[in-house]
């Protein structure tokens, strides 16, 4: 055989070999294996992130409830001003009646 013919045959063999390796490397089951490996490596970290996010959500919900409860308590205090003014008026009236009764009692003696 001649040198160019041998090179051509060698090139064909290497091209076929390269194509076969490429097909094997990119075969669907290999891709699925690589995907499985990626998921296996990534899943624990993702699960930890999910757990952290759920814990933060629970803490946030608790804080939101606390703030809403405090706002409600403050609003109720503001609304109770009417009742405090009423009690104040009744106390003043009771003091006035007491003073009047004391003055009347001293006048009868």
User: How far is residue 23 CA from its own chain's centroid?
Assistant: 46
4-28 confidence digits (pLDDT tens) = 888 888 888 899 888 888 877 777 7
Is residue 109 over pLDDT 80?
Answer: no
Res 102 pLDDT > 80: yes
Q: List, for residues 35-71, the tens digit of each pLDDT value.
A: 889 999 999 999 999 999 999 999 999 999 999 999 9
Q: Give the count of domains, the chain.
A: 1
Tell whether 33 is covered by a domain: yes
pTM over 0.75: no
DSSP 2: -
- Give the Cα separation of 67 and 42 in Å (integer): 37
Q: Provide the residue range defining the domain that includes 4.
A: 1-80
**Is 27 part of a structural domain of the chain?**
yes
pLDDT grade for 1, boundaries at 50, 70 and 90: low
What is the Cα 102 distance to its own chain's centre?
67
């Amino acid at each position: 055989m001649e040198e160019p013919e041998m090179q051509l045959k060698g090139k064909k063999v290497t091209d076929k070999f390269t194509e076969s390796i490429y097909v094997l490397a990119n075969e669907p089951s290999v891709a699925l294996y690589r995907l499985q490996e990626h998921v296996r490596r990534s899943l624990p970290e993702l699960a930890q992130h999910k757990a952290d996010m759920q814990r933060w959500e629970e803490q946030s919900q608790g804080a939101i409830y606390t703030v809403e409860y405090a706002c409600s308590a403050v609003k109720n205090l503001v609304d109770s001003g009417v009742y405090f003014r009423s009690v104040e008026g009744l106390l003043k009236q009771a003091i006035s009646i007491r003073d009047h009764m004391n003055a009347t009692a001293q006048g009868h003696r």
